[in-house]
């Protein structure tokens, strides 16, 4: 028999699997523990200190994100001490961070401000001048870093290193001057950066933000509607969220940016590549084809309905089969097709038209 | 690149950065091509360490409290006025011979205005007074006698290269050795006072068989300069202690981490290592040295391990402790120089003998005495000696005692009324301070407490690693609050910042911030950083009151 391991969380006995952290168990049990530097895709850093809780046998408060449960541990996530800790810590953060939403929210919700509100952190402790250096004039087209909003949680640098394996950005300097930068403060364009934008996705305050919505003065993320879809740039099938401004495009809704779903909820685990995250302008581009076109006898393309277009294509294909046999046809599907689409391509090829000449361009 | 290759490349990175002349444009990219390590990582590492990050600064004037009390500010101002490439630096571990100046990596003691003037604008021509070679800078050490009967460190003793203690330990066996350490009551001399035998047994008992011993010779706690004297005068003792430790815990490789400013102590210990290796004094145990690159935090043992691995010196979360997962993840015994140097005497003369050397706690102890005393220096005395007795060894007070800092900047300040508290780990902790590194600074009536605190807070702000918010923001907040409450930055030593004109309410939240730093910080730096201010506010409230 496998002995069940348990800890006491807020006075309740709850099970855990050896290796699980206090945060893992608290999440499952619905006990709220705030975090800022935590991202389930990264090794815990325990640096932001928001998640400290009391653990029996430990004199010091322990970081829930990095502390593994031990058999019989008594964990207190709500107590006078923990409450004072959260309030004073967040109060201190706010001395080093703008706290009007206008200044401090560049798009995505600012998790620090939300948390400070939730725990009623003091806002009257005075303000410190920011000492974190910026990389002014980085000419890369996508990623902007605002040191005023940076809380040095190192999620971006750890993501770049641990998930992407790219290490284009680093913590630099030390103390209150600690900032995020590249080798010799170069533009991201001149580094190993692949512009995946994962730094933007993981940043809890919006210090790392996408340039386009900033320069276009677009609405904050709270005012946008998210529509989950599958990226159609390749066949991997990454899930992404189109962020739609419902009032845009004459009230029909306009896609103004792309964000990734919560890590752990989709197969791409919140990761996207440069295309999925940033190449969405084509959606509303004026050159985009929005109806089928059929080339007429005059040699020009003419707008057509789907029924017409499909009929013309079917007639052409069946004409070839009738004149030259089914094996005169071959089907090559695009690497941007999903698995379901590939399935349908081989179906039309084999079942509907009777040839095994079917291929997928990514197969070679 | 394999994991081992990467580890290897990283370990050499700080030295390579140093050889490349520090962090100038193109260096990180260049080293990345040579080593295969990411260029941003290399840049991040170099930018962490002052001696690498700012290669154009050739001179650094110590801004530690003892040096400030001896006029370091004027020396810095004069050097700047003379157009020298100069900056301030955190304590250089030469508080007994202030003001100290670092020339590249060499500490020059007692550099005054005359020496700056004599250099005529050439940084390379700045020398310590009376000694143009700048080589001999061992300070005063007491008692001034070779007395192995009564002194565990016995700094005036002749070098002993017989390895007799090493042999005796082996003859006794590990269990007997551990028992002996336990009975001796030896506590870590690096600051925390943790019983040594517990760590030795813990490393010994690990399942992993690759283990390391690491010597912490980062000595950067302001007002501390004892390890410097041990390395200079008794490198034989240090190596023998390390060899005993390595043999006992089953390590073959010993790493000695010296602060980068210890150019001369490094020469001393390297000469001894070379000799020991050549003589095979300790069998197949190998000693390796590593120079720090300018970061107080790397004295914190896990930050030290990170730096030794060639990373930014940011402390690790504990647990796991180094005894379980230390250098390159292997079980590691980390000790301060003084702790290690006590070991041979304990083995040779016995645990009871060592224990009896102390008064209120076990053993004799090196106290670093600086500030307003007649003869600043390192004094070996029974643990638990009082301040008055200690200062008597140092030739007596200069002026009248007003306050003292018993154990480095991290210990805060105590008023003259605490002069009879036994200077041991427990008694000073009970008094709201700590023995820490036993860097004792004596302040007389000419010193404004506000001024002294301003300098201590600036030190912690400069040296915070920046990893965790309570310390990164808190050290900045406290220093800024105190400056603003006074209306400006530190004034003169005597008057401190003038009263009036300041924003008194700036100090309103000090207690909350200090509480948060103590509760929330990852390591001892942030936890202790508020103490200079909170202890001074407690004991000298009038000096901070609004005018
Ligand atoms: C900020 C900070 C700085 C420290 N600096 C030193 C140091 O310079 N030398 C040292 O031996 N220990 C220093 N320590 C203590 C070490 O972390 C560690 O406790 C010690 O090296 C263990 O050796 P010991 O048991 O012999 O004292 C420092 C600790 C902190 C928190
Ligand atoms: S307490 Fe300070 S020095 Fe220590 S880990 Fe935190 S920021 Fe770094
Ligand atoms: S060397 Fe200047 S105060 Fe220590």
CATH number at residue A236: 2.20.25.90
The beta strand positions in B293-346, using DSSP E, are: 332-336
CB count in 10 Å sphere of residue A51: 27
Instruction: Check: CB of residue A105 under 8 Å from CB of residue A59.
Output: no
Cα–Cα distance, A19 to A265 (Å, whole number) = 21
The strands making up B332-336's β-sheet, listed across from edge to edge, are B286-291, B253-258, B212-217, B332-336
Does residue A246 sit within a domain? Answer: yes
A219-231: average pLDDT: 93
pLDDT band at B131 (very low <50, low <70, confident <90, very high): low
Where among A232, A253, A284 does a domain terminate?
Answer: A284
For chain A, what is the domain count? 4
Percentage of chain B lying above the pLDDT 90 cut = 91
CATH number, domain at A190?
Answer: 3.30.70.20
Q: Closest approach of chain B CAs to the CA of A166, in angstroms?
A: 8
Give yes or no: residues A153 and A209 share one domain.
Answer: yes
pLDDT band at B547 (very low <50, low <70, confident <90, very high): very low
Does residue A106 sit within a domain? Answer: no
Cross-chain CB nearest to B469 (options A151, A168, A184)? A151
Does residue B137 sit within a domain? Answer: no
User: Given this model, what pLDDT does residue A3 score?
Assistant: 65
Instruction: For residue B221, give the nearest of B95, B319, B394 by alpha carbon.
Output: B95
User: Given this model, what pLDDT does residue B505 score?
Assistant: 75
Does residue A11 sit within a domain? Answer: yes
CB count in 10 Å sphere of residue A57: 8
Where among B77, B98, B125 does a domain terminate?
Answer: B125
Give the total residue count for chain B.
547
3-class SS shares of chain B: helix, strand, coil, % to 5:
45, 15, 40
Task: Compute chain B's Rg from CA coordinates.
Answer: 23
End-to-end CA distance of chain B: 65
Cα–Cα distance, B285 to B283 (Å, whole number) = 6
Write out residues 64-103 of B within 8 Å (CB-CB) of A.
Answer: none
Q: What is the pLDDT of residues B243-259, one digit of tens each?
A: 999 999 999 999 999 99
| Domain membership of residue A196 as a residue range | 127-215
Using a 6 Å cutoff on CB, does residue B467 contact ligand 2?
yes
CATH number, domain at B369?
Answer: 3.10.20.600
Does residue A19 sit within a domain? Answer: yes
Give yes or no: residues B232 and B321 share one domain.
Answer: yes
Does residue B134 sit within a domain? Answer: no
Cβ distance of A128 and B506 shorter than 8 Å: no
Give yes or no: residues B326 and B254 share one domain.
Answer: yes
Give yes or no: residues A183 and A248 share one domain.
Answer: no
Residues from chain B contacting residue A170 (CB–CB below 8 Å): 40-41, 43-44
Task: State both tokens at B268.
Answer: 């001393």
Average pLDDT, chain A: 95
Give yes or no: residues B487 and B432 share one domain.
Answer: no
User: Given this model, what pLDDT does residue B419 score?
Assistant: 97
List phi, psi (to 5°) of A317: -65, -45
CB count in 10 Å sphere of residue A83: 12
Give yes or no: residues B250 and B301 share one domain.
Answer: yes
Using a 6 Å cutoff on CB, does residue B356 contact ligand 1?
no
User: Given this model, what pLDDT does residue B34 score?
Assistant: 96
Question: What 3-state class would DSSP assign to B383?
Answer: coil
Using a 6 Å cutoff on CB, does residue B377 contact ligand 3?
no
CATH number, domain at B87?
Answer: 3.40.30.10
Give yes or no: residues B374 and B460 share one domain.
Answer: no
Q: Closest approach of chain B CAs to the CA of A119, in angstroms?
A: 15
Q: What letter would DSSP give residue A296?
A: -
Cβ distance of B509 and A91 shorter than 8 Å: yes
Does residue B135 sit within a domain? Answer: no
Cis peptide before B320 (omega within 30 of 0): yes
Where among A183, A215, A247 does a domain terminate?
Answer: A215
pLDDT band at B410 (very low <50, low <70, confident <90, very high): very high
User: Given this model, what pLDDT does residue A2 score?
Assistant: 59
User: Given this model, what pLDDT does residue A232 score?
Assistant: 86
Cβ distance of B522 and A46 shorter than 8 Å: yes
Instruction: For residue B238, give the nearest of B248, B249, B229, B250 by alpha carbon.
Output: B229
Per-residue CA distances from B331 to B188, B241, B294 (Å): 18, 18, 26
Per-residue CA distances from B469 to A88, A201, B481 (Å): 11, 22, 17
Give yes or no: residues A231 and A307 share one domain.
Answer: no
User: Residue A361 pLDDT more than 90?
Assistant: no
Q: What is the pLDDT of residues A16-25, one digit of tens each?
A: 999 999 999 9
Report the nearest atom of ligand 1 relative to the CA of B187: 25
A112-127: average pLDDT: 96
A79-99: average pLDDT: 97
State the ligand closest to the CA atom of B75: 3
Give yes or no: residues A228 and A247 share one domain.
Answer: yes
Give yes or no: residues B31 and B155 share one domain.
Answer: no
Residue nearest to atom 3 of ligand 3 (CA): B64
Does residue B136 sit within a domain? Answer: no
| Domain membership of residue B422 as a residue range | 364-442
Of B370, B376, B408, B440, the one to substitute when testing ligand 3's pocket (max ligand atoms within 8 A of C-beta) is B370
Residues from chain A contacting residue B473 (CB–CB below 8 Å): 92-93, 95-96, 128, 176
State the ligand closest to the CA atom of B313: 2
Give yes or no: residues B342 and B464 share one domain.
Answer: no
Give yes or no: residues A271 and A313 share one domain.
Answer: no
Does residue B131 sit within a domain? Answer: no
Of B64, B190, B342, the one to substitute when testing ligand 1's pocket (max ligand atoms within 8 A of C-beta) is B190
The H-or-E segment that residue B158 falls in is: none
Give yes or no: residues B478 and B349 share one domain.
Answer: no
Give yes or no: residues A343 and A310 share one domain.
Answer: yes
Task: State both tokens at B306.
Answer: 């990170």
Give yes or no: residues A319 and A346 share one domain.
Answer: yes
Residues from chain A contacting residue B48 (CB–CB below 8 Å): 172-174
pLDDT band at A86 (very low <50, low <70, confident <90, very high): very high
Does residue A100 sit within a domain? Answer: no
Average pLDDT, chain B: 95
Instruction: Check: CB of residue B298 under 8 Å from CB of residue B217.
Output: no
C-alpha B433 to ligand 3 mean position (Å)? 20
User: Residue A258 pLDDT more than 60?
Assistant: yes
The pTM score is 0.94
Instruction: For residue B251, give the nearest of B306, B343, B333 by alpha carbon.
Output: B333
Is B469 part of the contact surface with chain A (CB cutoff 8 Å)?
Answer: yes
Does residue B132 sit within a domain? Answer: no
Using a 6 Å cutoff on CB, does residue B102 contact ligand 3?
no
User: Given this model, what pLDDT does residue B135 score?
Assistant: 53
Is B30 part of the contact surface with chain A (CB cutoff 8 Å)?
Answer: no
Percentage of chain A lying above the pLDDT 70 cut = 99
CATH number, domain at B473?
Answer: 1.20.1440.230
Using a 6 Å cutoff on CB, does residue B75 contact ligand 3?
no
Cross-chain CB nearest to A169 (options B40, B481, B512)? B40
Where among B97, B125, B153 does a domain terminate?
Answer: B125
Does residue A243 sit within a domain? Answer: yes
A243-257: average pLDDT: 93
CATH number, domain at A66?
Answer: 3.10.20.740
List phi, psi (to 5°) of A8: -105, 120
Give yes or no: residues B121 and B189 share one domain.
Answer: no
Cα–Cα distance, B205 to B191 (Å, whole number) = 25
Does residue A90 sit within a domain? Answer: no
User: Given this model, what pLDDT does residue B498 score?
Assistant: 52
CA angle in degrees (0–180, nearest 5) for B139-B142-B146 = 110
Cβ distance of B43 and A152 shorter than 8 Å: no
Give yes or no: residues A205 and A135 share one domain.
Answer: yes
Q: What is the pLDDT of residues B469-505, one digit of tens each?
A: 999 999 999 999 999 887 666 677 776 655 555 666 7
CATH number, domain at B151?
Answer: 3.40.50.11540
Give yes or no: residues A236 and A168 share one domain.
Answer: no
Mutate: best of B6, B17, B20, B40, partner A, most A CBs <10 A: B40
User: Given this model, what pLDDT does residue A128 score?
Assistant: 96
Does residue B130 sit within a domain? Answer: no
The residue with tokens 């004109």 is B501
Where among B427, B442, B457 does a domain terminate?
Answer: B442
Does residue A111 sit within a domain? Answer: no
C-alpha B528 to ligand 2 mean position (Å)? 10
Q: What letter would DSSP give residue A21?
A: B
Cβ distance of B515 and A84 shorter than 8 Å: yes
Long-range contacts, stretch B20-29, CB < 8 angstroms, 24+ apart:
B21/B55, B22/B46, B22/B51, B22/B52, B22/B53, B22/B54, B22/B55, B23/B47, B23/B52, B23/B53, B23/B54, B23/B55, B24/B55, B25/A184, B26/A184, B28/A183, B28/A184, B29/A183, B29/A184
Using a 6 Å cutoff on CB, does residue B334 contact ligand 1?
yes
User: Given this model, what pLDDT does residue A89 score?
Assistant: 98
C-alpha B107 to ligand 2 mean position (Å)? 27
B69-73: average pLDDT: 96
For chain B, what is the domain count? 5
């Amino acid at each position: 028999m496998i002995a069940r391991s348990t800890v006491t969380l807020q006075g309740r006995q709850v099970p855990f699997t050896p290796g699980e952290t206090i945060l893992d168990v608290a999440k499952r049990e619905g006990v709220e523990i705030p975090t800022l530097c935590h991202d389930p895709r990264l090794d815990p850093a325990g640096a932001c200190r928001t998640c400290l809780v009391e653990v029996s046998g430990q004199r010091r408060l322990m970081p829930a994100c990095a502390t593994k449960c031990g058999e019989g541990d008594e964990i207190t996530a709500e107590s006078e001490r923990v409450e004072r800790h959260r309030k004073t810590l967040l109060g201190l953060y706010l001395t080093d961070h703008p706290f009007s939403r206008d200044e401090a929210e560049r798009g995505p919700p600012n998790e620090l401000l939300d948390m400070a509100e939730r725990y009623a952190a003091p806002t009257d402790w005075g303000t410190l001048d920011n000492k974190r250096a910026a990389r002014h004039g980085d000419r890369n087209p996508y990623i902007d870093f605002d040191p005023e909003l940076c809380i040095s949680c190192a999620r971006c640098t750890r993501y770049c290193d641990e998930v992407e394996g790219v290490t284009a950005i680093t913590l630099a300097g030390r103390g209150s001057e600690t900032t995020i930068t590249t080798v010799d403060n170069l533009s991201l364009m001149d580094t190993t950066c692949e512009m995946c934008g994962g730094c933007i996705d993981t940043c809890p305050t919006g210090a790392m933000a996408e340039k386009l919505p900033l320069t276009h003065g677009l609405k904050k993320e709270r005012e946008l509607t998210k529509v989950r879809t599958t990226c159609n740039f390749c066949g991997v099938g990454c899930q992404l969220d189109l962020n739609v401004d419902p009032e845009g495009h004459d009230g029909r809704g306009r896609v103004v940016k792309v964000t990734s779903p919560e890590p752990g909820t989709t197969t791409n685990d919140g990761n996207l590549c440069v295309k999925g995250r940033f190449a969405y302008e084509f959606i509303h581009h004026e050159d985009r084809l929005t109806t089928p076109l059929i080339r007429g006898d005059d040699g020009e393309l003419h707008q057509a309905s789907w029924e017409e277009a499909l009929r013309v294509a079917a007639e052409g294909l069946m004409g070839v089969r009738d004149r030259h046999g089914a094996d005169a046809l071959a089907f090559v599907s695009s690497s941007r097709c999903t698995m379901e689409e590939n399935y349908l391509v081989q179906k039309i090829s084999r079942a509907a038209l009777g040839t095994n000449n079917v291929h997928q361009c990514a197969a070679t | 690149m394999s994991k081992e290759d990467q580890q290897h490349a990283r370990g050499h990175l700080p030295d390579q950065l140093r050889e490349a002349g520090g962090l100038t444009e193109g260096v990180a990219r260049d080293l990345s091509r040579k080593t295969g390590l990411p260029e941003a990582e290399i840049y991040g590492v170099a930018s962490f360490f002052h001696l690498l990050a700012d290669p154009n600064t050739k001179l650094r004037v110590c801004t530690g409290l003892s040096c400030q009390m001896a006029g370091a500010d004027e020396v810095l101002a004069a050097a700047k006025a003379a157009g020298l490439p100069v900056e301030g630096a955190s304590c250089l571990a030469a508080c007994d011979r202030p003001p100290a100046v670092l020339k590249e990596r060499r500490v020059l003691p007692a550099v005054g205005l005359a020496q700056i003037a004599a250099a005529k604008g050439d940084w390379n021509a700045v020398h310590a007074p009376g000694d143009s070679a700048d080589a001999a800078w061992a300070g005063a050490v007491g008692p001034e006698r070779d007395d192995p009967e009564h002194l565990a460190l016995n700094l005036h003793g002749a070098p002993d290269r017989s390895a007799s203690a090493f042999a005796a330990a082996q003859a006794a066996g590990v269990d007997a050795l551990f028992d002996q350490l336990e009975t001796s009551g030896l506590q870590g001399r690096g600051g925390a006072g943790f019983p040594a035998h517990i760590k030795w047994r813990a490393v010994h008992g690990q399942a992993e068989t690759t283990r390391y011993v690491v010597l912490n010779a980062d000595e950067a706690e302001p007002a501390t300069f004892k390890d410097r004297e041990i390395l200079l005068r008794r490198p034989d003792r240090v190596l023998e202690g390390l060899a005993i430790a390595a043999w006992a815990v089953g390590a073959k490789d010993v790493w000695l981490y010296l602060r980068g400013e210890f150019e001369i102590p490094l020469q001393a210990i390297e000469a001894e290592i070379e000799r020991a290796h050549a003589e095979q004094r300790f069998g197949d145990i190998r000693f390796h040295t590593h120079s720090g690159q300018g970061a107080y935090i790397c004295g914190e043992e896990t930050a030290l391990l990170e730096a030794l691995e060639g990373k930014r010196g940011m402390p690790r979360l504990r647990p796991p402790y180094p005894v379980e997962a230390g250098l390159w993840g292997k079980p590691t015994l980390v000790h301060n120089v003084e702790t290690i140097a006590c070991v041979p005497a304990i083995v040779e003369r016995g645990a009871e003998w060592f224990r009896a050397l102390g008064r209120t706690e076990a053993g004799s102890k090196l106290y670093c005495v600086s500030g307003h005393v007649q003869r600043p220096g390192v004094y070996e005395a029974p643990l638990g000696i009082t301040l008055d007795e200690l200062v008597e060894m140092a030739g007596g007070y200069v002026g009248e005692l007003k306050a003292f800092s018993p154990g480095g900047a991290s210990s805060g300040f105590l008023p003259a009324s605490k002069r009879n508290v036994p200077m041991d780990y427990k008694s000073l902790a009970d008094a709201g301070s700590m023995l820490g590194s036993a860097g004792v600074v004596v302040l007389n009536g000419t010193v404004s407490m506000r001024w002294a605190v301003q300098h201590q807070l600036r030190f912690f702000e400069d040296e915070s690693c920046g990893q965790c918010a309570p310390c990164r923001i808190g050290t900045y907040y406290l220093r800024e609050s105190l400056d603003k409450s006074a209306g400006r930055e530190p004034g003169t030593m005597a008057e401190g910042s003038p009263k009036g004109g300041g924003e008194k309410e700036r100090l309103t939240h000090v207690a909350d911030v200090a509480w948060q730093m103590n509760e929330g910080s990852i390591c001892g730096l942030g936890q202790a950083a508020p103490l200079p201010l909170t202890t001074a506010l407690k004991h000298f409230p009038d000096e901070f009151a609004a005018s």
